[in-house]
Amino acid sequence: MPRFKPPRPTAAELEILRVLWERGPSTVRDVHAALARERGTGYTTVLKLMQIMAAKGLVERDESARAHVYKARRAPGQTQRQLVHDLLDRAFGGSPSKLMMQALSGRKASASEITEMRQMLDKFEKGKDPLA
């Protein structure tokens, strides 16, 4: 079973994925326009990164048009889960409660966020993974 597992995206790659998740399939120009607004990233920098991401399997590339169209290969949730589980293992000894404690600390979480978290715990306790 040749299950191919894309590697963890780096910081700059994650930025690009965020644009792709938000905009859907996009050209390099699209992504660059979105990123250049906030950061001063150059066009060829974005191009190079997206080429690398295609090689890594983080994105798919449609080359049928002259301006290639890229799309994220994994949904946000999958990537987020990979990242948070990695951090959980590396820094929290696998303890979600410790992670949550630090995530909440020093920030004002909205009331609706807290409510949502409670509901999530309820579901989870009943053996229901709210996602999987």
Residues 6+ apart with CB under 8 A from 118: none
Residue 11 interacting with its own copies (CB under 8 A): yes
Phi/psi for 70 (5° steps) reads: -105, 145
| C-alpha span between 46 and 33 (Å, rounded) | 10
If we measure between CA atoms, which residue out of 45, 62, 38, 49 comes closest to residue 13? 49
- Report, in Å, the least distance between residue 104 CB and DNA: 27
Residue 128 interacting with its own copies (CB under 8 A): no
| C-alpha span between 102 and 75 (Å, rounded) | 26
Residue 5 interacting with its own copies (CB under 8 A): no
Give the one entry of DNA, its own copies, none that residue 13 binds, where binding means its C-beta sits below a cut-off of 5 to 8 angstroms depending on kind. Answer: DNA
Residue 67 interacting with its own copies (CB under 8 A): no
Binding stretches for its own copies (CB under 8 A): 11, 14, 77, 79-81, 83-85, 87-88, 90-92, 95-107, 109, 111, 113-114, 116-118, 120-121, 124-125, 129-132
